[in-house]
Amino acid sequence: MAVRDSTKLFLFDVDGTLTASRKVITPEMEAFMSKLTGEVVVGLVGGSDLVKINEQMNGKALSMFTHVFSENGLVYHRNGEHVATKSIQEHVGDDNLQTFINYSLKYMSGLTLPCKRGTFVEFRKGMLNICPVGRNCSQAERDQFGEYDKEHQIREKFVADLRKQFPDNGLVYSIGGQISFDVFPEGWDKRYCLNHILGEGHTFSEVHFFGDKTFPGGNDHEIFEDSRTIGHTVTSPDDTMAQIKQILNL
């Protein structure tokens, strides 16, 4: 029986990499990840909170992956145990957050979209998630907005406006998935998770990162480009499996 190479970490984005956007992991991918844990150390890093990530991992995120970084690593679990949490509220301050949120809500009130539902600003521990269509939309409505956004660049224009309105607030913006974008302090992108695993006394000689939004402005770009990782751009969960099989000769 092969011995797991504990010096290699394979780190995965969630949406578009391990699952279709906001969908649950397929039995095939779940079985493949289970097999992969016998080969290398596995982890995942997502912008969503742990509840959403765990839903997508069929309730097994903390048991399937050694390292689980929710909210870009601002919330960190190792071997199923909570290790650390960082708060945007403490970092930015309530007054600044409220000013930003008020402006965002006013901006979205002026948008005319195919539909609008509920939860336009979701407050998370490490970030804000801004969603013009509303996170309570159905899958069909999510797909509809995704296509509309491709044509009209709703999120891209929104982010450009926020950068103009708040040039000195120390916040950065990351567009991911189909319907929303994340807002967080500079440096709190997915690279933040590397602080937990590549600090003093780390044992990883290689950290492979797999993500689909690796282009500039995508929420995988910074960690993909980081000199401490070996970045892999994937186009789907099937492509993720294919690339891993090729890398490890499985």
CATH of residue 172: 3.30.1240.20
For residues 52 and 43, give the distance between their C-alpha atoms in angstroms, rounded to a whole number. 16
Same structural domain, 155 and 167? yes
One-letter identity of residue 156: E
Cβ atoms 110, 56 nearer than 8 A: no
CA distance 63 to 56: 13
- Do both 80 and 112 map to the same domain? no
Strands 171-176 vs 75-78: parallel, antiparallel or unpaired? unpaired
Residues that are catalytic = 13, 15
* pTM for the predicted model, two decimal places: 0.78
CA atoms in the 13 A half-sphere facing the CB of 7: 2
Answer yes or no: do 173 and 118 share one domain: yes
Q: Which domain holds residue 104?
A: 88-185
Q: Are residues 150 and 232 located together in one domain of the fold? A: no
Along the 250 residues of the chain, how does pLDDT read in single tens digits?
Answer: 468 899 999 999 999 999 998 899 999 999 999 999 999 999 999 988 999 999 999 999 999 999 999 989 999 999 999 999 989 998 999 999 999 999 999 999 999 999 999 999 999 888 899 999 999 999 999 999 999 999 999 999 999 999 999 999 899 898 877 899 999 999 899 999 999 998 766 779 999 999 999 998 888 999 999 999 999 999 999 999 999 999 998 8
Same domain, 148 and 93: yes
Task: Let me know whether 15 and 134 are in one domain.
Answer: no
Task: Locate the DSSP E strands across 66-163.
Answer: 67-70, 75-78, 81-85, 121-123, 128-130
Is residue 192 located within the same domain as residue 80? yes
Same domain, 158 and 216: no
* Domain end position, chosen among 138, 170, 185: 185
Task: Give 164's contacts (C-beta < 8 A, 6+ positions apart).
Answer: none
Which of 185, 206, 224 lies at the terminal end of a domain, its last residue? Answer: 185
Q: What is the CATH number of the domain that holds 201?
A: 3.40.50.1000
Domain boundary among 185, 207, 224: 185
DSSP 182: E
Residues 158 and 80 reside in one and the same domain = no
193 neighbors 45 (Cβ within 8 angstroms): yes
Is the same domain home to 125 and 9?
A: no
Number of domains present in the structure of the chain: 2
Closest CA to 40 of 215, 214, 230, 193: 230
Q: What pLDDT score does 22 carry? A: 80
pLDDT at 1: 41
Shared domain check, 102 and 72: no
Considering the domain architecture, whether residues 107 and 21 belong to the same structural domain is answered as: no
